[in-house]
Amino acid sequence: MSRPKIAPSLLAADFGNLQRDVEMVNESLADWHHIDVMDGIFVPNISYGMPVIKAIQKHATKPLDMHLMIVEPDRYIKAFANLGAHVLTVHYEACNHLHRTLQAIKSEGMLAGVALNPHTSVSLLEDTINDIDLVCLMSVNPGFGGQSFIENTYDKLTALKELIQKKGTHTLIEIDGGVTDANAKKLVDYGADVLVAGSFVFKAQDPTATIAHLASITNS
Ligand code: DX5
Ligand code: ZN
């Protein structure tokens, strides 16, 4: 297995110094830039939209991992492809025709991701897992950074790993929400391939060293 990926969530960045924070990620041991898009409808918060993502894209040198917490994501698939998304993740709960949405994402040349809210069972992916490049298990209720990790995530990770093995797919498992150095290693041991970390990285005194620390504990 390749080394687990670290994806700092720019939601916790200092937006007054966005270029500086994006460049910090560029120069760190992080693998992806995680970009949270919230519409105030699917989740009770609004984050940022196209102009801000364009500014991030201008400075980012690592793949962009875009997490859409929006209703009717199909309307924006092309727009996010044009913004340079490497992975485009939609929420299971926001898609009436998930299979069609996944094909549309892939036809634009992006990896197709599906995020599951904490209440959404992994078993619901039984019939689509073959078409999914990445499953994002939400380990907090989406909408805000800085929340506490939900412990039931480990059981979901186990179920997802079993499903992926049963179907023989190469789907990556991403964990998003409340990731810190207290749970990172255990998550990787349970099968996580990508760890998203917002507050733990950006609220640290030394974000670069914090990313290096997460990389080292998950790689041992
Ligand atoms: C939550 C977002 C997360 C969030 C993670 O809705 O999807 O990506 O930024 O933030 P922390 O790591 O602070 O929980
Ligand atoms: Zn996210």
What is the CATH number for 35? Answer: 3.20.20.70
User: What pLDDT, on a 0 to 100 scale, did the predictor assign at position 199?
Assistant: 98
Which atom of ligand 1 is least distant from the CA of 115? Answer: 7
User: What pLDDT, on a 0 to 100 scale, did the predictor assign at position 1?
Assistant: 56
| Pocket perturbation via mutation, ligand 1, pick of 10, 11, 48 by most ligand atoms within 8 A of CB | 11
User: What pLDDT, on a 0 to 100 scale, did the predictor assign at position 146?
Assistant: 98
- Find the 20 Cα to ligand 1 centroid distance in Å: 20
How far from chain centre, in Å, is Cα 131? 17
3 state DSSP class of 176 = strand
Element (H, E) at 93: none
- Find the 162 Cα to ligand 2 centroid distance in Å: 24
Residues with CB in 5 Å of ion ligand 2: 36, 67, 176
* Amino acid (one-letter) located at 40: G
User: What pLDDT, on a 0 to 100 scale, did the predictor assign at position 44?
Assistant: 98
Q: CA-CA distance, 24 to 163, in Å (whole number)?
A: 36
- The tally of domains found in the chain comes to 1
- Residue 178 φ then ψ, to 5°: 70, 25
* Nearest ligand to the C-alpha atom of residue 177: 1
Which residue numbers are catalytic? 36, 176
Q: What is the CA radius of gyration of the chain?
A: 16
DSSP code of residue 109:
T
- CB-based pocket (< 6 A), ligand 1: 9, 11-12, 34, 36, 67, 140, 142-143, 145-147, 176-179, 196-200
Evaluate whether 27 touches 214 at the Cβ level (below 8 Å): no
Q: Burial-class residue 17 by CB neighbours within 10 Å (0-12, 13-18, 19+).
A: exposed
* Amino acid (one-letter) located at 22: V
* Nearest ligand to the C-alpha atom of residue 9: 1
Q: Could you tell me the residue range of the domain that residue 62 belongs to? A: 5-218
The residues, ordered by sequence, that sit 6+ positions from 47 with a Cβ below 8 Å of its Cβ are 11, 36, 37, 38, 69
Evaluate whether 197 touches 7 at the Cβ level (below 8 Å): yes
Question: Residues comprising the binding site for substrate?
Answer: 9, 67, 143-146, 176-178, 198-199
User: What pLDDT, on a 0 to 100 scale, did the predictor assign at position 18?
Assistant: 98
User: What pLDDT, on a 0 to 100 scale, did the predictor assign at position 2?
Assistant: 80
Q: CA-CA distance, 44 to 46, in Å (whole number)?
A: 7
Evaluate whether 4 touches 191 at the Cβ level (below 8 Å): no
Q: What is the pLDDT along the chain (220 residues), one digit of tens a residue?
A: 589 999 999 999 999 999 999 999 999 999 999 999 999 999 999 999 999 999 999 999 999 999 999 999 999 999 999 999 999 999 999 999 999 999 999 999 999 999 999 999 999 999 999 999 999 999 999 999 999 999 999 999 999 999 999 999 999 999 999 999 999 999 999 999 999 999 999 999 999 999 999 999 999 7
- Find the 21 Cα to ligand 2 centroid distance in Å: 17
Establish whether this prediction's ipTM goes over 0.90.
yes
How far from chain centre, in Å, is Cα 166? 24
